[in-house]
Amino acid sequence: MTAGIPITIALDAMGGDKAPESVVHGARLALKFFPDLQFVFYGDEARITPLVARHKLAACARIIHTESAIAMHEKPAIAIRQGRRSSMRLAIDAVARGEAQAVVSAGNTGALMATAKIVLKTLPGIFRPAITATIPAQQRSVVLLDMGANIDCTADYLVQFALMGDAYARAVLGVARPKIGLLNVGSEDMKGHDEVKEANRQLKTGNFPIDYHGFVEGHDIMEGTTDVVVTDGFTGNIALKTAEGASRLIYNAVKNAIENSFSAKLGYLLARPAIKMAMRKFDPRKHNGAILLGLNGIVVKSHGSADAKSFANAVKVAATLVQNTVNEKILDELSRSTAAPVATTAGEDVAVLESLTTISISTVR
Q: Does 191 interact with its own copies (rule: CB under 8 A)?
A: yes
**Shortest reach from residue 276's CB to its own copies, in Å:** 8
Q: Which of 31, 175, 275, 346 binds its own copies (CB under 8 A)?
A: 275
**Shortest reach from residue 288's CB to its own copies, in Å:** 17
Q: Which of 249, 328, 335, 342 binds its own copies (CB under 8 A)?
A: 249
DSSP 100-138: -SEEEE-S-HHHHHHHHHHHH-BPTT----EEEEEEE-S
**Shortest reach from residue 92's CB to its own copies, in Å:** 23
Kindly tell me which of 24 and 221 has the beta carbon lying closer to its own copies.
221
Instruction: Name which of residues 291 to 350 contact its own copies (CB under 8 A).
Output: none
Contact 221, 247 (CB under 8 A): no
Site string for its own copies, 154-173 (x = CB under 8 A): --------------------
DSSP 199-214: HHHHHHHS--SSEEEE
Q: Does 201 interact with its own copies (rule: CB under 8 A)?
A: no
Kindly tell me which of 104 and 361 has the beta carbon lying closer to its own copies.
361
Q: Which of 3, 46, 176, 274 binds its own copies (CB under 8 A)?
A: 274
Instruction: Name which of residues 32 to 91 contact its own copies (CB under 8 A).
Output: none
Q: Does 226 interact with its own copies (rule: CB under 8 A)?
A: no
User: Total binding residues for its own copies by CB under 8 A?
Assistant: 71
**Shortest reach from residue 139's CB to its own copies, in Å:** 10
Q: Which of 6, 50, 245, 347 binds its own copies (CB under 8 A)?
A: 245
DSSP E strand boundaries for the chain: 8-12, 38-43, 61-65, 102-105, 130-136, 141-145, 179-183, 211-216, 228-230, 290-293, 298-301
Residue 47, SS3 per DSSP: helix
Quick check: bond before 146 cis, omega within 30? yes
**Shortest reach from residue 43's CB to its own copies, in Å:** 27
Kindly tell me which of 105 and 362 has the beta carbon lying closer to its own copies.
362
Sign (positive/negative) of CA torsion 84, 85, 88, 90?
positive
Contact 357, 73 (CB under 8 A): no
Q: Which of 47, 268, 305, 332 binds its own copies (CB under 8 A)?
A: 268
Q: Which of 93, 220, 227, 333 binds its own copies (CB under 8 A)?
A: 220
The torsion defined by the Cα of 43, 44, 46 and 49, in degrees rounded to 10, comes to -10
User: Residues 6 or more apart from 126 whose CB is under 8 A from it?
Assistant: 160, 164, 294, 330, 334, 342, 343
